[in-house]
């Protein structure tokens, strides 16, 4: 998911070099490990647009090593299923230090981006603590585990009964989030996970309402009934949404979503109250990604006129 989402951001940034692009990142995946504050989604955007991403993997730093992780596991303070690289850990050290000093996550993100210069304004959805927990029920009993344990350790194979966005109902959008949405020509929903990425952002009170006031175009994360990448189907089935381009659009709903880009394989998709366009949605290379971004911009402009 992350690779697609952020690649799309990059291409959009290139297409509209004159405009300011704000990326609002999900922080529900964030986790504190060995005292380090890890923000996978924000960092993936930052590294990708800043030129530090491991491109093959779609997350983490390029030219990465795992020495600190090995030592932390030896000390017994880090679970062995979480792949924290040495270069990546430096980011979490800086973040943990700034947060310990009282800086909110939005200020920390801005400081980190000073180095990476991603070319967009990167904002966390909130400065408050929101954590996606997953209710599972197996031989060990019914319990809620952190999203990362479910996603990384269990590779989403443990059936999810429910997703709980702990802290979301009292969270406030980070400074600048509502203002950026209100001022935007349009909002682009990337083909990220509709439940635990975009759904989590929409769970912060005020964000969905602000987006409903502007033009929103989404790119389907589902092609021919299967997620393009990642394990979105495991999340959709948990909330009773079919894994299809049409069902995801209907889940967002016409109050939120104005336009929807689907793959040519799904060209027969129709969703009441949402303008659907089809084009090749696989991002094989920068050119195909760029074409998707351009189509999203074109559709948004049409819908605004």
262 and 269 Cβ atoms separated by less than 8 Å: yes
Instruction: Return the number of the residue (90 or 226) whose C-beta is nearest its own copies.
Output: 90
Q: Is residue 87 a contact residue for its own copies (CB under 8 A)? A: yes
Contact call for residues 298 and 287 (beta carbons, < 8 A): no
- Residue 290: HSE in the Cβ half-sphere, 13 Å Cα cutoff: 6
How many residues of this chain interact with its own copies, rule: CB under 8 A? 24
Residues facing 138 on adjacent strands: 141
Select the span of 32-40, 190-198, 252-260, 287-295 touching its own copies (CB under 8 A). 32-40
Rule CB under 8 A: is residue 36 a binding residue for its own copies? Answer: yes
CA distance 100 to 241: 40
**Any idea how long the chain is?**
305
- Classify residue 155 by burial, with Cβ atoms within 10 Å: 0-12, 13-18, 19+: exposed
Which segment (85-93, 163-171, 239-247, 263-271) binds its own copies by CB under 8 A?
A: 85-93
Q: Taking CB under 8 A as the rule, which mask of x and - marks residues 37-66 in contact with its own copies?
A: ----------------------------x-
User: In the set 112, 184, 249, 292, which binds its own copies (CB under 8 A)?
Assistant: 112
Q: Does position 97 bind its own copies by CB under 8 A?
A: yes
- Give the separation between CA 3 and CA 210, rounded to whole angstroms: 26
In the complex, the residues that contact its own copies under the rule CB under 8 A are 34-36, 65, 67-68, 71-72, 74-77, 86-87, 89-91, 93-94, 96-97, 100, 112, 115
């Amino acid at each position: 998911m992350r690779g697609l989402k952020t690649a799309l951001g990059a291409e959009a940034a290139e297409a509209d070099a004159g405009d300011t692009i704000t990326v609002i990142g999900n922080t529900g995946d964030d986790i504190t490990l060995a005292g380090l504050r890890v923000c996978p989604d924000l960092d993936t955007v930052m590294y990708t647009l800043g030129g530090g991403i491991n491109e093959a993997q779609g997350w983490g730093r390029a030219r990465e090593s795992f020495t600190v992780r090995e030592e932390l596991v030896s000390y017994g303070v880090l679970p062995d299923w979480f792949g924290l690289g040495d270069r990546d850990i430096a980011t979490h050290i800086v973040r943990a230090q700034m947060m310990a000093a009282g800086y909110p996550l939005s200020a920390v993100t801005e400081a980190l981006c000073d180095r990476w210069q991603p070319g967009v304004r990167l904002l966390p959805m909130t400065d408050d603590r929101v954590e996606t927990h997953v209710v599972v029920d197996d031989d060990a009993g019914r319990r809620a585990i952190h999203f990362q344990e479910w996603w990384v350790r269990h590779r989403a194979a443990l059936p999810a009964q429910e997703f709980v966005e702990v802290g979301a109902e009292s969270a406030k959008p980070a400074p600048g989030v509502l203002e950026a949405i209100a001022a935007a020509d349009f909002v682009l929903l990337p083909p990220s996970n509709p439940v635990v990425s975009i759904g989590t952002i929409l769970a912060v009170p005020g964000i969905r309402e602000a987006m409903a006031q502007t033009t929103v175009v989404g790119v389907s994360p589902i092609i021919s009934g299967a997620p393009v990448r990642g394990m979105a189907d495991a999340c959709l089935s948990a909330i009773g949404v079919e894994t299809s381009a049409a069902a995801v659009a209907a889940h967002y709903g016409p109050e939120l979503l104005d336009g929807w880009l689907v793959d040519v394989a799904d060209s027969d998709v129709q969703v009441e109250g949402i303008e659907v366009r089809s084009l090749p949605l696989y991002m094989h290379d920068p050119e195909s990604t760029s074409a998707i971004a351009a189509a999203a911009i074109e559709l948004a402009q049409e819908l605004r006129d």
